[in-house]
């Protein structure tokens, strides 16, 4: 398929305002909007449609992305794009992984993570917990980590397509930068000196797990 024939198909399938971003995470929604903008797609967010936040009962990133996308497509009658992502720390058996958002809660209900006082999701807390787990391991333990992003695109007829992206890097302490979201300030991508928290959005989009998954989605769908 040449470029000219791809363009009209993209517009027909995913017209502006005809795609729901099935995410309640503002940081993610901001990034997904920026990644879709070059294709002329202006999605509506799950929050603006008052869609509920489903329970993420899957055991993989893909399963959770699929569940979030299917629920949003079902409730809205529109195609829906969901993102399930997380930080995998190799020396921690790839934790926090699919529980990356939960590690920011005062009591994540996860064995080996002490409950704390407080309310709401807090990524300073989540990053501190990751760093404490690494510090408890023998000196010289690898601080290698990767982010994973699974995207699921669900159509109202029940058809789902999914894509998975990844970026490798190292965890630093203390965290650096106030850009991005989540674990960005403690993650330095391979071959770079700055953390995701120190990078402008365009720099992060040039190499992130989310951009990697998006490239696959764009190649398959547009």
Which residues are tagged catalytic? 84
Nearer to ligand Y43, 9 or 70 (CB): 70
Q: Could you please report the per-residue DSSP string of 13-80?
A: HS-TT--EE----HHHHHHHHHHHGGGT--PEETTTTT--------SSHHHHHHHHHHHHHHHHSS-E
Length of the chain in terms of residues written: 222
Q: How far is the CB of 45 from ligand Y43 (least distance, A)?
A: 10
Q: Total number of residues binding Mg ion (CB under 5 A)? A: 1
Task: Select from Mg ion, ligand Y43, none the partner in contact with residue 163, using the beta carbon and a kind-dependent cut-off of 5 to 8 Å.
Answer: none
Instruction: Give the number of residues in contact with ligand Y43, rule: CB under 6 A.
Output: 23
Residue 194: DSSP 8-state: S
Q: Give the sign of the dihedral formed by CA 17, CA 7, CA 25, CA 65.
A: positive
> From Mg ion, ligand Y43, none, which one binds at residue 183 (CB under 5 to 8 Å depending on kind)?
ligand Y43
Nearer to ligand Y43, 8 or 191 (CB): 191
Residue list 11-40, contact with ligand Y43 (CB under 6 A) = 23-25, 28
What per-residue string of b and e applies to 71-88 under the rule 16 or more CB within 10 Å gives b? bbbebbebbbbbbbbbbb
List the single partner that 147 binds among Mg ion, ligand Y43, none, CB under 5 to 8 Å by kind: ligand Y43
Residues 6 or more apart in contact with residue 164 via CB below 8 angstroms: 61, 62, 148, 149, 150, 151, 213, 216
| Among positions 19, 32, 36, 86, the unique one binding ligand Y43 when judged by CB under 6 A | 86
Q: Does 212 sit near ligand Y43 (CB under 6 A)?
A: no
Is 182 flagged in the annotation as binding? yes
Q: Which of residues 90-129 bind Mg ion (CB under 5 A)?
A: 101
Given the rule CB under 6 A, which residues bind ligand Y43?
Answer: 23-25, 28, 53, 56, 68, 83-87, 100-101, 147, 180-184, 196, 208, 210
Given the rule CB under 5 A, which residues bind Mg ion?
Answer: 101
């Amino acid at each position: 398929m040449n470029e000219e024939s791809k363009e009209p198909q993209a517009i027909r399938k995913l017209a502006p305002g005809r795609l729901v971003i099935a995410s309640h995470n503002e940081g993610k929604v901001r990034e997904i909007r920026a990644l879709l903008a070059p294709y002329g797609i202006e999605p509506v967010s799950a929050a603006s449609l008052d869609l509920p936040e489903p329970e993420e009962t899957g055991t993989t990133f893909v399963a959770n992305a699929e569940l979030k996308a299917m629920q949003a497509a079902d409730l809205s009658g529109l195609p829906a794009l969901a993102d399930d992502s997380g930080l995998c720390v190799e020396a921690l058996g790839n934790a926090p992984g699919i529980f990356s958002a939960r590690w920011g809660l005062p009591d994540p209900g996860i064995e080996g993570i002490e409950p704390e006082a407080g309310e709401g999701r807090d990524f300073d807390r989540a990053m501190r917990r990751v760093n404490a787990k690494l510090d408890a391991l023998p000196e010289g333990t690898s601080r290698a980590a990767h982010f994973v992003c699974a995207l699921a695109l669900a159509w109202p007829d029940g058809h789902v397509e999914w894509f998975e992206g990844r970026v490798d890097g190292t965890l630093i302490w203390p965290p650096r930068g106030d850009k991005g979201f989540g674990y960005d300030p403690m993650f330095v991508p391979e071959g770079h000196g700055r953390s995701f928290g120190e990078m402008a959005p365009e720099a992060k989009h040039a190499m992130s797990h989310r951009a990697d998954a998006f490239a696959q989605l764009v190649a398959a769908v547009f």
